[in-house]
């Protein structure tokens, strides 16, 4: 797999992932008390953190996008 996620994209994805996990499990916001929104946010948050860690986005690969220099 070729790296296709740049540094700024990686930082934004990591921040979004952490934010979604916080909202899902620690925030106490009533909207996240239900199962669908809570676990949907947790799933998307985990995916964002994984993509930020491995620097490969499958959707970018499908469409040929690349936000990194190399």
Distances (CA, A) of 15 to 22, 50, 63: 10, 12, 24
Predicted local confidence at residue 31, as pLDDT: 86
pTM of the model: 0.88
Residue in 10, 18, 67 with CA at minimum distance from that of residue 44:
18
Predicted local confidence at residue 40, as pLDDT: 94
What residue has token string 């690969």?
Answer: 61
Does the pLDDT at position 67 exceed 80?
yes
Instruction: Report the C-alpha gap between 25 and 9 in whole angstroms.
Output: 24
Q: What is the pLDDT of residues 18-57, one digit of tens each?
A: 999 999 999 988 988 888 999 999 999 999 999 999 999 9
Predicted local confidence at residue 33, as pLDDT: 87
């Amino acid at each position: 797999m070729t790296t296709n996620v740049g540094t700024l994209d990686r930082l934004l994805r990591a921040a979004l992932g952490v934010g979604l996990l916080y909202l899902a499990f620690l925030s106490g916001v009533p909207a996240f008390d239900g199962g669908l929104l809570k676990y949907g946010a947790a799933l998307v948050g985990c995916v964002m953190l994984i993509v930020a860690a491995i620097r490969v986005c499958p959707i970018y690969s499908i469409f040929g996008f690349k936000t990194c220099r190399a």
